[in-house]
Amino acid sequence: MTEKHFESSDGWILCSIALSSSLTTLVGAADHLNCTTPTLEELNGALTRLGRAGLVSWQGPTLEVANEVRAFHERIAHEPARVVCEKFIALLASYRVDPRVPPREDIRLVTREELDAAGAAHHTRVREFMKKSR
């Protein structure tokens, strides 16, 4: 059996999903945690691997994390964002992904248009916040 480890970007993307209620807030959380937003390839690769491991699923338009991930996040949420992100990366080290497992039906990939729209909405929110804080 061939097992694949998660990519390091999967950890901060999983953490971003745990903090999010929409694709736009996922992009914002990722920007906050990693000072960058995920590329389409990073995001869809992470969704595929995390979905195969049963750690994320779509609930309508919202990505949800598994109960064990939610509980893990609640235990460490009081720590600085960088530490939380590092702990999510470490958490994934204990999981393996079997590439022979077919993709889950409740995991869909994000389109370029969806990610671009979420990124634009996030940047609009940042600009509005910056105007208010002057």
Residue 64 lies in a domain: yes
Residues 88 and 74 sit within 8 Å (Cβ to Cβ): no
pTM of the predicted structure, to 2 decimals: 0.86
Residue 34 lies in a domain: yes
Residues 108 and 23 sit within 8 Å (Cβ to Cβ): no
Residue 52 lies in a domain: yes
Residue 58 pairs in a beta bridge with 63
Residue 96 lies in a domain: yes
Residue 93 lies in a domain: yes
* Residue 37: Cβ within 10 Å count: 19
Domain span at 121: 8-132
pLDDT digit string (tens) for 2-50? 456 788 899 999 999 999 888 999 999 999 888 889 999 999 999 988 9
Residue 29 lies in a domain: yes
* Type of residue at 84: V
- Eight-state DSSP code of residue 21: S
Residue 2 lies in a domain: no
pLDDT digit string (tens) for 42-96? 999 999 889 888 899 888 888 899 999 999 999 999 999 889 989 999 999 888 7
CA dist 65 and 106 (Å) reads 12
Residue 47 lies in a domain: yes
Domain count of the fold of the chain: 1
